[in-house]
Structure 1
Amino acid sequence: MTPAIVVEGLVKRFGATTALAGVDLSVPEGSVLGLLGPNGAGKTTVVRTLATLLQPDEGRVEVVGLDVVRDAAQVRAAIGLTGQYAAVDEYLTGAENLEMVGRLYRLGRREARSRAAELLERFDLVGAASRPAKTYSGGMRRRLDIAASLIARPRVLFLDEPTTGLDPRSRLGMWEFIADLADGGTTILLTTQYLEEADRLADSMVVIDRGRVIARGTGDELKAQVGGQRLELTVGRGPDVALVRDRLRPLAAGEAQVDEQTRRISMPVSGGTDALAEALRRLEGSGVEVLDVGLRRPDLDDVFLTLTGRGTEEAESPDAAEQAGREPATTAGGAR
């Protein structure tokens, strides 16, 4: 398939900090790419570069066949962008916010109003359409912000942590809408820390850390790198943690993770319930008080801990360097 997004050797620096150190990725037309990584890994810097809000220092970056530097205005006309934080005018109503964005995209007044009404209904905001956005809850602002990014029916949509701040019901509704967009042919680049979200929506995933791509594949392929399932036990006494780890080490398909404070041991295993039964057999007669035991599939933190050695919240921050040394944002031409 023809790629809608092509990134080759993307480098971006902020002073002495290299936020992106040679990122490569490609997104076929009409597909969804999940861009995953811990906080500060460089995800937002990738999105801002693709959206023409930052200029790359090195590398080739194209959206719908257009260079993001040379053809920036044309790129902006073809994309929609929702950042990590809702960017709405608090003193305009929901309807006025959407109509304003439509007019900025050079839609006619009637078309902007019609499109705003359509999106207000789709995002369950009709009842609040005439209220100032400053009266909206965080989740409502988020939905309004995403609706604004869709006002001009973009060919490519960048969603940077789109479900942050949404309640579970709104998150499920957002997933359904994003899936509908992809089914309709919109190319989507989605950054998220929720592996469940990427599993549900992404055709493929790229994991970045410290500005470099460290893994690619589907959700199942990424989780296979940390073991198909994890055996987890919580014991009643601190001294038993080391005993349990040592007794169960032969069952582990990788390095066990131990939390001394919570007395929790977690390790990748294969064999499903057979591994669980064998673990309990090995602890028989040991005197260990097992408070909780079970099997579960790996989550995003498991993937990050295996691939990066740290969780989603623990990060050096290339994206923070962007905040400190940010170039002026480009606002002309329609990209929000």
Structure 2
Amino acid sequence: MDIMQVLALVIPAAIYAGVPLILTALGGLFSERAGVVNIGLEGLMISGAFIGIVSTLWLEGAGVGAASPWIALIIAAIVGALFALFHAVASISFRADQIVSGVAINFLALGLAIFLTRLFFGRGQTDYIQNRIFRTNVAGLSEIPFIGPLFFSNAYVTSYVALALVFVVYYVIFYTPFGLRLRSVGEHPMAADTMGVNVNKMRYVAVMLSGAFGALGGAVFAVTVSGNFSATTIVGQGFMALAVLIFGRWNPLGVLGAGLFFGLAQALSTTGAQLPFFSEIHPVFLLIAPYVLTIIALTGFVGKNAAPKAIGKPYIKGSR
């Protein structure tokens, strides 16, 4: 196997494995840039995966056809934004511990999704969707020497959508009045309040955006990779997305790079047996590599000084 064959196997796998993490991490970025810790990314991904599959099945039954998974992605994002309100109300209005609230979201999402799956389908998993978003070659671009086979062949359209969203989020966060207000309530909420910014309102919007992107990440994984939903569809990817956010230093472009890095680790865990060097490594070490990286990231060794200054601190108007 030559180097080109190795790259053609690993790079597309790294991209499609990293896309759900990137989308979910972008959601966490909105929330945490506004000062609200969101440990509930795992739960948001679970809710998105469940809604994405169930919505696709329902739309297929209604005769919508090939557009079903795309409409389901939009539905999942909307439901995710509403589901994130549980975390917003607890953390912002009631000033509950944001870590505890996020953990509760994870448990609630998993328990509710499993219960509804058994209620609707009579077993621990849903039916498989027929209209999945499959890999495709980009006409014209896939023929470009070297670059074409790596980035434009055998790829999901959702990967390009996610890449576009990274740059959209970057522009919104750093070059719009909304982004300035969002960052201000995460850095110095009292100063923002003094300037007329409604701190709690901005934080509510940020958490709902976090829910939309987190659910979108889970739904993308479900309608591209898994094809159905069960209790093991989303297992740890939300925590990996949190690690991606930390590795990326709360910056959309950093999230893109970190997401692809974690995607590469996941890709090697699944394709390593086919590669010359990695085939000699015990499969267990390849499987645990992404989770080891997650632990390292969550310990705060990377990017801990880049966190918003007011993150995790409820805002009480008039307090110092």
TM-score, with normalisation over the residues of structure 1?
A: 0.21
Structure 1 or 2, whichever has the larger Rg, is 1
TM-score, with normalisation over the residues of structure 2?
A: 0.22
The structure carrying a bigger helix percent of its residues is: 2
Which one has more relative contact order, counting CA pairs under 8 Å at least 6 apart?
A: 2
